[in-house]
Structure 1
Amino acid sequence: MAGSLSRLIGEFMHRRMLARVRRNHSLAEHADTSTLRALRALRAGGRQLRAELDVTLDAVDSRLGHPKGGSARIQRKPGMDWAWRPELWSGPVRPAGVAPAPRQANLSRHGKVYHDCGLGEIALRQVANQGADDLNPYAYLVEVFGFSGTFLSLVVDLPADALAGLARRHVIRLEARIEVERPIRVYARLNLRYGPNTEQITRELDQTARPPEAEFDLAYADFAADQIDRAWIDLFFENPAMNRMTLKDLTLMRLVRAEY
């Protein structure tokens, strides 16, 4: 019964959407003779329709991208009290690709790219994961040809819930699955901003670990926990020229350090 009702609702919504598209198309055919008021209404209706379609398609793409669901599935670790997979790896983003990548660009709500290369030979693209062992629906591809700059950084801003209760007893752990055309060193830097100051901890991504990881033990950091208003991770790719790096997955988690 529930399945039949869902189909009926789906068919009704489909017919309603088609009627709106056809009505807008019909009005657009007479744009030359329509009043400005009618055209503005048509434009507003078209934008609303496009927004509704985008929301629907995003949900469908996310589900189809990983039929088993669970885009937020993260392997639990002892002492873990927070975990997160950024949207570059958990859901579709728009635009899906950027080429050539500008020196600074927003890739998603929490993702950015920075570099100082003037050649314009960097391409970024979100791609679907297809492997049977993939826990997440999307990967993020960084492809570099000529590179004359000094740094290429992928930045991930941590959400507000990662900062709630953050203290020196915590360890921030980054896990990544990465495929490269040639070996490359990748560094991760945790940035904690409190007031006018920013504490930074840099670690090289251990690519011999399974999965590759980097840990930031806050016991050795100098920061005022009650004043932190922003935190982010920089991923630096050393000498990235003529390389194709596919970040199959990236997750961040917060662990409470074991005390003896």
Structure 2
Amino acid sequence: MKMLGGKALDTIAFAIGRKRWSDAARRAGEADLADLRLQRQRARQLRRHLDDLIHVADSRLALPMIGSNAFRRPHGADWGWRPELWRGPLPVPGFASVQSKSMLGDEVTLFHDCERSELTLRQIRNRREKDLAPFGLRMDVFRFDGSFLSLAVDLPGDAVAGLKRRHLIRMNTIVEMEKPLEIFARLNIRHGPNTEQIVRELPLTEEDNMVEFDLAYSSMNEKRVEKAWVDLIFEGPRMNQVILRDLTFSRRPRAEL
């Protein structure tokens, strides 16, 4: 199949299509409503494909390599994953005065109980040579009148497929902050009507941090596992800037004795 772009016929077809939509946009203020409704429907369908193309193109053409799921995994890992926010550019890169339950992308949700939000979330481009993740997440917290602040990261279906109590789930993250604060990671596994929770505190002694959740100490029902997610809980976030340069997950079975 020939690629779009350099061929003469492709160039002509592109010019004709661009002029058609340019003319339609210019006449939209005076167009017949029936024609305008049809044009809107077609434009939305076209925009969906264009957004998909732009997202994939940005993922492949930018440096460091966008879309990369490459990171150091423990020996014997049977699953590894980097959420989309750290892999590729999002259509909406951020929010100001972020309300609770706001989602950045399809996998990351912010929760808080502030009466007045003075929080911002923004996807940023990683440009340091040592960064493996193409993007990071910056959170700015100004006045904070709430009692909790957390980011929930939904794990994909592959994370729980075949999940057993003999598994260890590892989370690696690279964190920068203006001033010290405590960050806790809570793994949640829904199995039937119950949710198992395991909490670990990030050591934060170095920029690159790792915690492991040992499912051997849980009461998880292996036959009823439905979903898993991780909450990153920030203690005392007032007047601080936190940057998560990378966030990755992996799992490995415990060595047989």
Do they fold alike, i.e. is TM over 0.5? yes
Counterpart pick for 1:155 among 148, 152, 157 = 152
Structure 1 ranges of 4+ moved more than 6 A: none
- Report if aligned partners of 1:65, 1:129 keep a CA contact under 8 Å in 2: no
Match in the other structure for 1:127: 124
Q: For residue 214 of structure 1, give the secondary structure of its aligned residue in structure 2.
A: strand
Q: CA 1:71 to 1:150, structure 2 compared with 1: closer, same or farther past 3 Å?
A: same
Counterpart pick for 1:108 among 105, 109, 112 = 105
Report the residue type matching 1:252 in the other structure: F
Q: In structure 1, what is the Cα distance between the partners aligned to 2:47 and 2:223?
A: 43
- Report if aligned partners of 1:180, 1:244 keep a CA contact under 8 Å in 2: yes
Counterpart pick for 1:218 among 215, 219, 240 = 215
Counterpart pick for 2:81 among 81, 84, 98 = 84
Please state how far the C-alpha of 1:8 moved relative to its aligned partner: 5.0
- Report if aligned partners of 2:64, 2:132 keep a CA contact under 8 Å in 1: no
Please state how far the C-alpha of 1:9 moved relative to its aligned partner: 5.1
Map Cα deviations across residues 169-226 of structure 1 (whole Å, 9 max, x no partner): 1011000001111111100000011111111000001222563011100000011011
Counterpart pick for 1:22 among 15, 19, 23 = 19
- Report if aligned partners of 1:192, 1:200 keep a CA contact under 8 Å in 2: yes
Counterpart pick for 2:137 among 140, 148, 156 = 140
Matched, 1:241 2:215: no
Please state how far the C-alpha of 1:109 moved relative to its aligned partner: 1.6
Please state how far the C-alpha of 1:121 moved relative to its aligned partner: 0.5
- Superposition pairs of residues 1-260 of structure 1, within 5 angstroms: 6=3, 8=5, 13=10, 15-68=12-65, 71-208=68-205, 211-260=208-257
Deviates more, 1:127-136 or 1:38-47: 38-47
Q: CA 1:67 to 1:78, structure 2 compared with 1: closer, same or farther past 3 Å?
A: closer
TM-score (norm 2): 0.92
Q: In structure 1, what is the Cα distance between the partners aligned to 2:10 and 2:180?
A: 51
Q: CA 1:220 to 1:64, structure 2 compared with 1: closer, same or farther past 3 Å?
A: same
Please state how far the C-alpha of 1:111 moved relative to its aligned partner: 1.2
Map Cα deviations across residues 153-176 of structure 1 (whole Å, 9 max, x no partner): 111111111111101110110000
- Show structure 2 runs of 5+ residues with no match: none
Identity %: 43
Q: In structure 2, what is the Cα distance between the partners aligned to 1:166 and 1:11?
A: 53
Q: CA 1:23 to 1:115, structure 2 compared with 1: closer, same or farther past 3 Å?
A: same
Report the residue type matching 2:85 in the other structure: L
Q: In structure 2, what is the Cα distance between the partners aligned to 1:118 and 1:11?
A: 59
Q: CA 1:69 to 1:241, structure 2 compared with 1: closer, same or farther past 3 Å?
A: closer
Q: For residue 212 of structure 1, give the secondary structure of its aligned residue in structure 2.
A: strand
RMSD of equivalent CA atoms: 2.1
- Report if aligned partners of 1:31, 1:39 keep a CA contact under 8 Å in 2: yes
- Report if aligned partners of 1:65, 1:128 keep a CA contact under 8 Å in 2: no
Please state how far the C-alpha of 1:65 moved relative to its aligned partner: 3.3
Q: For residue 245 of structure 2, give the secondary structure of its aligned residue in structure 1.
A: strand
Q: In structure 2, what is the Cα distance between the partners aligned to 1:11 and 1:242?
A: 57
Report the residue type matching 2:21 in the other structure: N
- Show structure 1 runs of 5+ residues with no match: none
